[in-house]
Amino acid sequence: MRIAILGCGQLARMMALAGWARGHRFSFLAEPGEDPAPVEGLGEVVVAEPNLSPELLYRALGRPEVITPEREQLSAELLNGLAQLAPVYPDGRALTLTQHRAREKTFINEQGFATAPWQAVDPHTDLDALGDLLGWPLFIKSCEDGYDGLNQWRLDGPGKAPKLNPDIEYIAEGGVAFERELSLVAVRGTDGSVACYPLTENRHQGGVLQSSLAPAPSLPEGLQAKAEQMAHTLMAELNYLGVLTLELFLVEEQLLVNELAPRVHNSGHWTQSGADTCQFENHLRAITGLPLGATRALAPSAMVNLLGVTPPAPELCPGAKVHWYNKGVRPGRKVGHINLNDANEHSVRASVDRLVDALYGNA
């Protein structure tokens, strides 16, 4: 099939690499000025010039049979225009909700699921009083354009309010004293069937994912089923197609939803070598109308992000599988990741700690 991906970063790259193996062909949409190096050689790249109508864009993308977004921040106008010409999965509704934190959290709460306590704020809000109400540390996040901890501030106590831009929408969230951060990568197919990977444990540094362990070790009884039930409800309500990721906080055996990502996710990269079917292939299966592949973990698995660093010497991580994104190395930039599998969860965790220590010195 001919598939257009709206984006040209590493997620687009890995979707295309999984799809080429199945005989699909790809085209990609790049923002003006964006470097499409991650998808170099994998298909046509079209630049989203502002004057390009959906029709012209559709033609430039090679009249794709199906279109899939790589990122949330795409205009509803573009998505709805393209949807007149070819199916867009996940669709404009899912993206409109997840690209805006206040809309997203309202939707999650309406489905009966807990989030951190939150409230919309503006430059006039008394953030000191709000911190006392919602709980310190107080997180201020822009509603749009937030990823990898960008456009958000953590206030540890009163008197530290940042200067908010009156033209931008924000929310404030009470800090959650979570025991662990988890994520659930789920996929829903055309027949409405849903498959979920095992819950994954994620560690962040400075708001950026540094490593993941899967299946997340020693989870409370029934937690996987609870998370899967959440995914079923959210995806059915959205009539969702493709991969959806739930970022979760585990607090006293309860799950709070941090955010939803309407796409394949960094915390699902371990599935490339640790699961029956990887998240990229399953996303493509869902959007091309194929039955979903099995999501079982084959072995204790882990993923370590390469953030502004090149892969370490092979002897540091025997058996590691390096995925390089063809990007230039800049401080903190996600330029690749390493997947690891081991005989048991203790040895895989020890390998992650060794690797993180060697790369960043903070294991």
List of residues contacting ligand ATP (CB under 6 A): 116, 139, 141, 146-150, 152, 173, 175-176, 181, 204, 207, 247, 258-259
Q: Classify burial at 51, counting beta carbons within 10 Å of its beta carbon; exposed 0-12, middle 13-18, buried 19 or more.
A: exposed
Nearer CB in complex with ligand ATP: 162/207 = 207
Q: DSSP readout, 243-284?
A: EEEEEEEEETTEEEEEEEESS--GGGTTHHHHBSS-HHHHHH
116 binds, among ligand ATP, Mg ion, none (CB under 5 to 8 A by kind): ligand ATP
Nearer CB in complex with ligand ATP: 147/324 = 147
Least Å distance between CB 223 and ligand ATP? 18
Token duo for residue 279: 């998240």
Hey, what amino acid is at 351?
Answer: S
Residue at shortest CB range from Mg ion: 247
Is the bond preceding 262 in cis, omega lying within 30 degrees of 0? no
Least Å distance between CB 210 and ligand ATP? 10
Alpha carbon 286 to its chain centroid, in Å, reads 17
Please list the residues that pair with 213 across neighbouring strands. 201, 302
Contacts of 32 (CB under 8 A, 6+ apart): 47, 48, 49, 50
207 binds, among Mg ion, ligand ATP, none (CB under 5 to 8 A by kind): ligand ATP
Nearer CB in complex with ligand ATP: 58/153 = 153
- Judge contact between 177 and 251, C-beta under 8 A: yes
Least Å distance between CB 325 and ligand ATP? 16
Provide the 10 A C-beta neighbour count for residue 125: 16
176 binds, among ligand ATP, Mg ion, none (CB under 5 to 8 A by kind): ligand ATP
x/- contact string, 254-273, with Mg ion (CB under 5 A)?
-----x--------------
Least Å distance between CB 62 and ligand ATP? 30
Site for Mg ion (CB under 5 A): how many residues?
2
Q: How far apart are CA 178 and CA 175, in angstroms?
A: 9
Hey, what amino acid is at 188?
Answer: R
Q: How far apart are CA 282 and CA 289, in angstroms?
A: 11
228 binds, among ligand ATP, Mg ion, none (CB under 5 to 8 A by kind): none
Nearer CB in complex with Mg ion: 174/300 = 174
Least Å distance between CB 119 and ligand ATP? 12
Site for Mg ion in 219-248 (CB under 5 A): 247
54 binds, among Mg ion, ligand ATP, none (CB under 5 to 8 A by kind): none
Least Å distance between CB 258 and ligand ATP? 5
Least Å distance between CB 175 and ligand ATP? 4
The sign one gets for the Cα dihedral 275, 280, 281, 287 is positive
E-strand stretches of 130-241: 138-142, 152-155, 170-174, 180-188, 194-196, 200-205, 208-214
Give 44-49 contacts, CB < 8 A, sequence gap 24+: 45/8, 48/78
Nearer CB in complex with Mg ion: 258/277 = 258
147 binds, among ligand ATP, Mg ion, none (CB under 5 to 8 A by kind): ligand ATP
Burial 271-283 (b: 16+ CB within 10 A, else e): bbbbbebbbbbbb
Nearer CB in complex with Mg ion: 72/247 = 247
Hey, what amino acid is at 78?
Answer: L
Least Å distance between CB 313 and ligand ATP? 28
Nearer CB in complex with ligand ATP: 70/259 = 259
Nearer CB in complex with Mg ion: 206/314 = 206
Interacting residues with Mg ion (CB under 5 A) = 247, 259
